[in-house]
Amino acid sequence: MQFADYVAAAAFLSYLSAVNAWSPTNSYTPGKVECDADVNLIRKADGLAPAEAEWLVKREANTKDALKSFLDRATAKFSDNSLVDSIFSSATPRVGFASCGGGYRAMFVDAGVVAAMDERTVGANENGLGGLLQGIAYISGSSGGSFFTTTVTYNNWTSVQDIINQMKDGDHSIWDLSQSPLNPGGSDTEYTNELFANITESIQLKNEAGFDVSLADAWGLSYGYYFFPSLPRGGYSYQWSDIQDADVFKNGEMPLLIELAKVEKAGETSVDLSSTSIEMSPFEFGSWEPSIKSFTDMKYLGTEVNNGVPTTPGECIAGFDNVNFLTSASTNVINTLYNSGSGMYTSMINSFKSKFLPNVTTVGHIDVNIAAPNPFKGTTNYESDSSIVDNDQLYLVDGGIDGQVIPFTPLMRKERDIDLVIATDTTADTDEVWPFGSALVATYERQFMEIGKTDAFPYVPDIETIQNLGINKNPTFFGCDSSNLTDLAYVPPLVVYLPNRAYSYDTNVSTAVLTYTREQRLGMIRNGFEIATRNNFTDDPDFLGCMGCAVMRRKQEQLDLPWPSECAQCFERYCWNGTISNSDTTSIVSSSSANATSTSTGISSASANSTSEGFSTIHFETSTTIPCDECEQPQPTVMTTTIEEDCSDSATQVATMIECEECEEAEAYRSGSYNHYTTRTSLTTTTEICEECEEAKATSVPSTYSNNGNNNNNEANDFSSGSSGESSNSEGTSNNSASNGSEKSGNSNGSNGSNASAGSNASNKITSSAATILQVTTSAPSSTGVSVVLNENNGASFSVSGMLTVVTILLAGLQFM
């Protein structure tokens, strides 16, 4: 450990003990503490936690000045930037940052993006968005994003710059990933053995104290060594709620962190978009969603309760909210591996089980984070299905595994009244581990499902459009005009979407890569910086100003203030304006018009993707929206349009029909309070005439992902098999699609069409997986270094090299366990 590191650690430690912020047992084991005899640990999810509201006042005293000076800088070149003063004379914009998942790839890219917004980063004020982070009120994390957010939050809100300054290989500094969690000591086998023995002991003692444990405890404890290397045993006695006592938090000098986990129901082995999401804030643990609709006091998680009342009056449990345990819950993909159907993963997991849980009495559920006793037991705030609150245990898994890899939902909550959400997208959507927006589509669609009925999210296009318009390559703003969002449950924040792409470094590293050298880490972080700044403003010198406009937009709308011409130009450049560009009517559901009540025809004359052969790809699409009460007498509309240029002799006919069933269904989702809700329903039949066009399309389709809007588990896909991706389809609105849709789009026999609606993501990945083999070098404990070949799409579909991977990992694992 470096001297500076040591001093900082010592200071942090003495501070932690001074404020008494530590597990009562001073270890991983939760322990009994006194609490008020009449305490009730549960509150109904009907508003912000009082503690959060109180904290927000303190935070906003700081964000106000920070945002004001950021905006003064960002708009300095505007012909008239009086908008800044006008806004701040009566309001302060509220900004959130969503830290996307995707393993270490995500962690580093998120770090670079945040560094670009942090005034503490060298160069961020000259080349970046420096100061914006100081104006952010909330950050959220899921999966690999939680690796990042946990690290900075629970290291006294350290800066990425500080982490970089201390970064070395092999010294166990923060994010020293020169060795993988499978072999943390590298050639120092003694260290590895001691570390694993310590983890095994921690889990054993927690279990002996009466708490159910699983492999997820080991997962979290081993990652702790990478995030809190200066704390004893990687922070094994560090509590989530401890941050409440840190000055930097108490004084509102850092944002409030909310991480997400998903609830896996008893008897199920996976989660999907309809599963419940849990929010974990410094204050609370719980869910807004109808299956729970309650929050419990974070500090006393683990207490046996009935409807929030401790079963032993005056006695609570503390220390269950361990930082490593809850980060594990937000990042736990073990269950996906375990249930992938791959015998190899199963045996690997069983070997871990005998290593880390040798004498543990719990049976079953070794793959999930077990929160037990269930804090929601006996609660009555849930709306329908009581299965979660009835169970004695609560099972938690990775927050992004349902397809919502970007943790938008906590920041979209109406109660938090956020104006702008800045989000990264490091999802591994393509074979080459780049995003194409499946996470956006997932959260968009979820709002129309029962589980998401109290959420709103701006309209986004389908994934094919996202690719055709290059939305997945450059920053894009969604929900730019509040007036176009009035048909959602409420007007959601503006979204600034920052997709992962390469500038100075290929940041498309597989989730399965668990080691990074210092050079690689720095390369990833630097590229993240460039993503957030459009390559340090070389791609667009006005981007700084445009981000300023995004910060001010909702307040400008609310206060009805004049919109600077520079902002208007920015919005023309960066806002998705409702344009659709795809060839696949099955994806129409999420494409939508920008205004859901109006009938809009999104004709992408962008048909204009001419190939070198001179063919035109015809994209044609109709989206019709009708109010539900008109459903009684649907009036099919038929439109005929002739298309252009190279295919001037071709015509595309589009028949739009209206399906009443869909309306009723949608209405049911919205129940009572939104009875004026309307949905877009359309069936499109396209008849192609031009031969050349068919040909052009037929060749372009295989390289394109057609999405039916339900791209579950993209994160899991690149870890394992994507087998759960097959569970996709037909939640909520995603079924509006044409049953006849496969006949369009130049697929004479519709094979691609059907592929598209049956989890093609997974199958496409499998077929082309040979191209995505990565070399990862880890070192075996004793003998020579072993080159572990990880296949991006391993899991159920092992190629030969995939076999090698698991065998090697197993061997390596067994050797030093």
**Contact footprint for ligand NAG (CB under 6 A):** 11-12, 15, 123, 127, 156, 191, 194-195, 198, 200-201, 204, 233, 248, 358-359, 432-433, 468-469, 480-481, 483-484, 486-487, 504, 506, 508, 510, 526, 529-530, 535-536, 575, 577-579, 594-595, 597-598, 609, 685, 700, 730, 735, 739-740, 748-749, 751, 772, 774
Closest distance to ligand NAG from the beta carbon of 327 (Å): 17
CA dihedral of residues 138, 141, 146, 151 (deg, nearest 10): -10
How many angstroms separate the CA atoms of 215 and 365, rounded? 9
Which residues make Cβ contacts (< 8 Å) with residue 296, sequence separation at least 6? 41, 42, 284, 285, 286, 305, 308, 375, 376
Q: Tell me the pairing of strands 294-297 and 42-44.
A: antiparallel
Q: Nearer Cβ to ligand NAG, position 396 or 546?
A: 546
Under DSSP, is residue 608 helix (H, G, I), strand (E, B) or coil?
Answer: strand
Under DSSP, is residue 24 helix (H, G, I), strand (E, B) or coil?
Answer: coil
Q: Nearer Cβ to ligand NAG, position 11 or 807?
A: 11
Q: Nearer Cβ to ligand NAG, position 15 or 563?
A: 15
The continuous run of DSSP H or E covering 772 comes out as none
Q: Nearer Cβ to ligand NAG, position 320 or 448?
A: 448
Closest distance to ligand NAG from the beta carbon of 609 (Å): 4
Closest distance to ligand NAG from the beta carbon of 123 (Å): 2
Burial class (CB in 10 A: 0-12, 13-18, 19+), 274: middle
Q: Nearer Cβ to ligand NAG, position 287 or 600?
A: 600
Type of residue found at 587 = S
Q: Nearer Cβ to ligand NAG, position 203 or 280?
A: 203
Type of residue found at 603 = I
Token digits of residue 699: 């060749």
| Omega before 373 within 30 of 0, i.e. cis | yes
Handedness of CA 114, 576, 474, 734 (dihedral sign): positive
Closest distance to ligand NAG from the beta carbon of 761 (Å): 15
Q: Nearer Cβ to ligand NAG, position 367 or 743?
A: 743
Closest distance to ligand NAG from the beta carbon of 14 (Å): 8
Instruction: Tally DSSP H helices, then E strands, for the chain.
Output: 28, 25
Closest distance to ligand NAG from the beta carbon of 390 (Å): 26
Point out which residues pair with 395 in neighbouring strands: 264, 370
Q: DSSP per residue over 40-109, as a string?
A: --EEESSS--HHHHHHHHHHHHHHHHHHHHHHHHHTTTSS--HHHHHHHTT----EEEEE--SHHHHHHH
Q: Nearer Cβ to ligand NAG, position 318 or 525?
A: 525
Closest distance to ligand NAG from the beta carbon of 230 (Å): 10
Q: Nearer Cβ to ligand NAG, position 340 or 593?
A: 593
Which residues make Cβ contacts (< 8 Å) with residue 109, sequence separation at least 6? 100, 102, 424, 426, 500, 507, 524, 525, 527, 528, 531
Closest distance to ligand NAG from the beta carbon of 137 (Å): 18
Token digits of residue 486: 């009035």
Whether 638 contacts 624, CB under 8 Å: no
Closest distance to ligand NAG from the beta carbon of 510 (Å): 5
Closest distance to ligand NAG from the beta carbon of 118 (Å): 11
Compute CA distances 406 → 84, 206, 329, 359, 572, whole Å.
30, 32, 16, 38, 25
Q: Tell me the pairing of strands 394-398 and 256-264.
A: antiparallel
Q: Nearer Cβ to ligand NAG, position 648 or 687?
A: 687
Token digits of residue 220: 């979290």
Q: Nearer Cβ to ligand NAG, position 191 or 674?
A: 191
Closest distance to ligand NAG from the beta carbon of 167 (Å): 14
Whether 362 contacts 214, CB under 8 Å: yes
How many angstroms separate the CA atoms of 443 and 167, rounded? 36
Q: Nearer Cβ to ligand NAG, position 335 or 622?
A: 622
Closest distance to ligand NAG from the beta carbon of 730 (Å): 4
Residue nearest to ligand NAG (CB): 123
